[in-house]
Structure 1
Amino acid sequence: MSRFERVRGRLRRAYESSRESVRARRTDPTDAPGPAGVASPTSPGPVAPPSATVVGAEPPAAMHNSTSSRDDADVPHALRIAAAWSWRLIVIGVVAWALLKIVGTIKIVVIPLAVALLLSALLAPAVGWLLRARFPRSLATAVVLVGGLAAVVGTLTLVVNEFIQGVPELSKKSSEGVRQIQDWLKTGPLHLSDGQLDRYIEEGQDWINNNTERFTSGALSTAATLAEVLTGTLLVLFATFFFLRDGNKIWRFLVRLLPVAARWKVDDAGRASWSTLVAYVRATVLVAFIDAVGIGIFLVVFDIPFAFPLAALVFLGAFIPIVGATLSGGVAVLVALVDSGPVTALIILGVVIGVQQVEGHLLQPLIMGRAVAIHPLAVIIGIAAGVVLAGITGALVSVPLIAVLNTAVRRLAARTVPDTPPDAVVVASQAP
């Protein structure tokens, strides 16, 4: 070893030993310096008393507890807080935008999975009943899924048959209604002449002829749409089956992907969110059934055609809160107007409004309020955003999504520790 290397090694060892002594002095609060001007093992040189003033040294910079440099201390506290919130909100907005883009790209998969989750929440209690009756899990899931599918197919068959039988009579009455409207336009307050009516009819026909190409292009794309609907339906059926049969296993697998410290908290929030979704779907089905029965009884009493299909439409529309049943009830009012005249239509309109009032002031607070507590403004905003992003499917999924997120965020933000699972194994470390 050369002399230069020996000297460098000695310098390095001296430097390391000095650093170690400084660290030990900083970390040991009981280590007090010796008398002034006398060196000690931990205080190698003279130490100035705390009240001493060093001549020529700059005064220490005033630092705030939340700052780490002089530059941060010079910035007003309110501006630093606003900047901290701003960049965090920007990051959240970018992540949300990226998630929306990803969901929009694979919506043909996301939408069927969302529908499958809703169906699983609806059918899960029935599967639980069969499991308690000692049915195998796969058999119980298959029985419930096939039974639900048979109920849907049977209902659609009845609706289509009644619609086919009533279309000729409704078309005849529609023609009579159009003639009555023409007579009202001539003799009513507008006092339109035959020439004006003919001109408006010709303009309508010209508009239809000019937009025939648009209608034809839409019809040509129907094949692709039907293929997407068929693919989505098959995906819904398969996903619903496996969600019902292996939903617990799938959730445990997803939870195991998280860090150990976060698993219990996320598992607690996820199971609470699932309970909220099940309660929401069951409450929605009950409210929709009451709406459909209430409006359907009056349609039968006043002998309105398509009473059963219109009641089924009200039932489906009620799954979109606040606005769904109103829009589907409006279709019943139009059918009553064409079939039985304005008086009967006004009565049906009053029935629809009355059912909506009962739903909004009695059924929603009594049934839905126990399931999920969501402000009506949040419901309206969620439905509007869902319609803009994904149409009717978005309006159907938006409210349960808000309910699930509401429960999940509340559970995750809670400071309570979730209960220890009954099958948890606690391993205690032995003291050395």
Structure 2
Amino acid sequence: MASPSSSGPADPAMPTWLVRSAAVGGRLLVLAVLLWLLAGFAVKVTLPLVTVLIALLVAGVLAPVVEWAQGRGAPRWLAAGAAVLLLLTVLGGAAVGLGARIVEQLPQLRERFQQVSSDLSQRFGIELPSFGSGGSGGSGGASGGSGGGTSAADLLGPARTVAEVLIAAFLVVALTYLFLHGGPGMWRWLLDRFAGRAREDVDAAGRAAWTTVGGYVRGLTIVALFDAVGIGAGLLLLGVPLALTLAALQFFASYIPTIGAFVAGLVAVVVAYASGGLVTAALVLGLVVVVQQIGNDVIEPYVMKNRLPLNAATILIAVTAGGVLWGIAGALLFVPLAAAVSAAAQELWVRHGRRPIAGG
């Protein structure tokens, strides 16, 4: 009954190890092609994917607040709306306050940066990028034959960027509210698409991923807040300009693991050098190192516990891959995304061991 080409004994002239290696290599090749196609698709639909993922992260942070309010008798729609409104109020107030400080101190800081750039150029040949110089250094005669006018193409790029940011912000706010308000119903609808063991697997894996990401983001927020408060207080004591702005930068940059906190600390050191010289920069460097080490070695293990089932190499790869695909948004999102996938896979492994998953 079996055909000569059916799966029977391997060709005696073909070593067993070669057959197995070819099989594994073929599967890896198919997986690589699939990942390449998914990456290309992700790049094409960056805006909707990024907004959905950011909204899920924000919803994961605010979910305990909504559950707390609902447990005390508030309707879920009201609890979700209040949580989103509270977040917008905090972020809006911080943006207005920091914006006023930046406008106030920016001229002084620009002058200091120009001095630092000149100093570094003379001593070490290091050229810093221009810091928003208001001169017309090449704009006067570089406008071709249009007499210095601004073309429509010059305005279209920034206008499109602003429009995309506004659309993304609106989508994040709207989706966050919808996820907080209707999340349980959405999850039940998804589970209804499965039956039997597959339904149980999807439910367990999804809940494990959601719990892991929510705990990770909340823990990371605590660590970022500690770093921002510690570094911001030190900068204020040292008289560094834009201390609150640098503290806010430290807070938001800490959401990009490994790289973000380092870059924010480096910016603080450069600003300190521009405003107070080498001694102030050295003090700020020591401050940044001490605060970040306490945050990483003391605060993070306490608040994170085992909420991030990823090692340092995986985190660095995720940050790099996300940055390549989606820029800053990708560097921010790929670590919690990898953590969610890892948590779901571990949950399925615990449920099934080495057996096939979901009725295989």
Distance in 2 (CA, whole Å) between partners of 1:338 and 1:239 is 42
* 1:415–1:133 distance in 2 versus 1, CA, 3 Å: closer
The equivalent of 2:330 in structure 1 is: 394
CA–CA separation in structure 1 for the residues paired with 2:141 and 2:273: 28
Partner of 1:365: 301
Corresponding residue of 2:158:
222
What SS is found at the alignment partner of 2:280? Answer: helix
Structure 2: distance between partners of 1:298 and 1:159: 17
User: Cα 1:154–1:79, aligned 2, differ >3 Å: closer, same or farther?
Assistant: same
Which position in structure 2 is the counterpart of 1:123? 62
Letter in 2 for 1:145: V
CA distance in 1 between partners of 2:348 and 2:141 (Å): 58
> Quick one: distance in 1 between partners of 2:141 and 2:59?
46
**What pairs with 1:18-417 in structure 2 (closer than 5 Å)?**
68-69=7-8, 72=11, 75-174=14-113, 177=116, 181=119, 185=122, 220-416=156-352
1:178 shift after superposition? 5.5
Alpha-carbon distance in 2 for matches of 1:281, 1:189: 41
Going from structure 1 to structure 2, the CA distance change for 1:248 and 1:387 (only over 3 Å counts) comes to: same
TM superposition shift of 1:392? 0.3
SS in structure 1 of the partner of residue 310 of structure 2: coil
Q: Which moved more, 1:370-379 or 1:278-287?
A: 370-379
Deviation at 1:104, TM superposition (A): 1.6
Deviation of the 1:75 alpha carbon:
3.6
Change (3 A) 1:189 1:110: closer
- The 3 A distance-change label for structure 1 pair 207 and 76 is farther
Structure 2 CA distance for aligned equivalents of residues 346 and 270 of structure 1? 47
Unmatched 5+ stretches in structure 1: 1-66, 191-204, 418-432
Larger CA deviation: 80-89 vs 321-330: 80-89
TM-score normalised by the chain length of structure 1: 0.71
After TM superposition, give the deviation of residue 206 of structure 1 in Å.
6.9
Residues 91 and 347 of structure 1: CA distance in aligned 2, closer, same or farther (over 3 Å):
same
Which position in structure 1 is the counterpart of 2:357? none
Flag the structure with more relative contact order, 1 or 2, with Cα contacts below 8 A and sequence separation at least 6. Answer: 2
Q: CA deviation at 1:332?
A: 1.3
How far apart in 1 are the matches of 2:327 and 2:86? 29
Find the aligned partners of 2:191 and 2:45 in 1 and give their Cα distance. Answer: 24
Counterpart CA distance in 2 for 1:208 and 1:388 is: 36
Please state how far the C-alpha of 1:176 moved relative to its aligned partner. Answer: 5.0
Name the SS of the counterpart of 1:371 in structure 2: coil
Taking the aligned partners of 2:287 and 2:166, their CA distance within structure 1 comes to 37
Shift of residue 360, structure 1, vs aligned partner: 2.8
On the 8 A contact 2:213/2:336 being kept in 1, the answer is: yes
Q: CA deviation at 1:292?
A: 0.2
SS of residue paired to 1:162: helix
AA matched with 2:103: I
Amino acid at match of 1:131: Q
Residue 211 and residue 73 in structure 1: after superposition, are their counterparts in 2 closer, same or farther (change >3 A)? farther
Root-mean-square deviation (Å): 2.8
What whole-Å deviation, never above 9, does each CA across 1:91-136 have from its counterpart, x for those lacking one? 2222222222222211110000010011001111110110011000
Please say which of residues 224-233 and 254-263 is displaced more in the overlay: 254-263
- 1:327 Cα deviation after fit: 0.6
Are residues 218 and 93 of structure 1, via their aligned partners in 2, closer, same or farther at CA, if it must alter by over 3 Å? farther
Is contact 2:269–2:281 with CA below 8 Å preserved after alignment?
A: yes
The 1-side partners of 2:25 and 2:109 are apart by 60
Between 1:234-243 and 1:94-103, the stretch displaced more is 94-103
Q: Where does structure 2 lack aligned partners over 5 or more consecutive residues?
A: 1-5, 126-136, 354-360
Q: Report the residue type matching 1:325 in the other structure.
A: A
- What is the alpha-carbon distance in structure 1 between the residues aligned to residue 114 and residue 166 of structure 2? 36
Letter in 2 for 1:247: G
Letter in 2 for 1:167: L
1:61 match: none
Distance 1:189 1:273 in 2: 50
Cα 1:73–1:249 shift into 2, 3 Å: farther
> Given the two structures, how large is their TM-score scaled by the length of structure 2?
0.84
**Offset from partner CA, 1:146-165 (integer Å, 9 cap, x none):** 11111110010011011111
- C-alpha distance in 2, partners of 1:173/1:95? 51
Q: 1:218 to 1:338 in 2, by over 3 A?
A: farther
Single out whichever of 347-356 and 383-392 deviates more from structure 2.
347-356
Task: Compute the displacement of 1:245 (Å).
Answer: 0.9
